[in-house]
Amino acid sequence: MDAPLADYYRRRAATYERIYAKPERQADLRAIEAALPDAFTGRDVLEVACGTGWWTPFGARDAAAWLATDLNPEPIAIARAKAMPASVRFAIADADTLAELGEQTFDGAFSGFWWSHVPLQRLPGWLDTLHARLRPGARVVALDNLYVEGSSTPVTRHDAHGNGYQMRTLDDGSAQEVLKNFPTRDAAVAALGPRAFDVTWTAHAHYWVLSYRLR
């Protein structure tokens, strides 16, 4: 994770979950929370960029093992303080490389709101890095935002690669430009590579969920 983005999320950790209080998003959140456990029943799962662990107890509910990782200790400390299934462990790991995980492999992976922060020009390479950690037959679920006028933070510019950027303001009044992409279904599926099959894309009003398996 690039240093400005990592610092932004470190500083935002204590207030991050305000985003889940938006009234117009509640129906979506309940639907995704209810559906997520079935994807990982009995699986050994890697969660990438777990943040404050909002999604961790839902995904891990019926998992055999769940390793929730994040680069920053501040959000992990918040996640550790929550009631979690017994299968859950936490570790510091950079989502870009996952190098801190050594030789560990998994048969499931989950990322919530990380895909949109990966630069478009690096997305296929990042997916290769993730898939290298996964065994054949692994189930992968990615969850992220759809752009909804009036609910989403406006995109203020695009770079030469097509990446979008938002200006985010923290409680201390400081502003941070954050890379944030809103892929279409076709663009997301095209990035997966030849190992992906059994692909499904579910579009809610404010979020998308991409689920697939690996050969």
String of DSSP letters for 3-28: HHHHHHHHHHGGGGGGGGG-GGGHHH
Q: Where are the domains of the chain?
A: 3-214
Rounded distance, CA 60 to CA 88, Å? 7
Q: How many CB atoms lie within 10 A of CB 16?
A: 17
Query: Is 70 exceeded by the pLDDT of residue 1?
Result: no
The stretch 108-137 carries a mean pLDDT of 97
Tell me the pLDDT tens digit for each residue of 38-92: 999 999 999 999 999 999 999 999 999 999 999 999 999 999 999 999 999 999 9
Q: Which of 154, 140, 212, 211 is nearest to 182 (CA)?
A: 154
Query: What is this structure's pTM?
Result: 0.95
Backbone dihedral angles phi then psi of residue 173, each to the nearest 5 degrees: 90, -10
Domain 3-214 in CATH: superfamily? Vaccinia Virus protein VP39 (3.40.50.150)
Asked if 192 and 115 touch (Cβ cutoff 8 Å), the reply is no
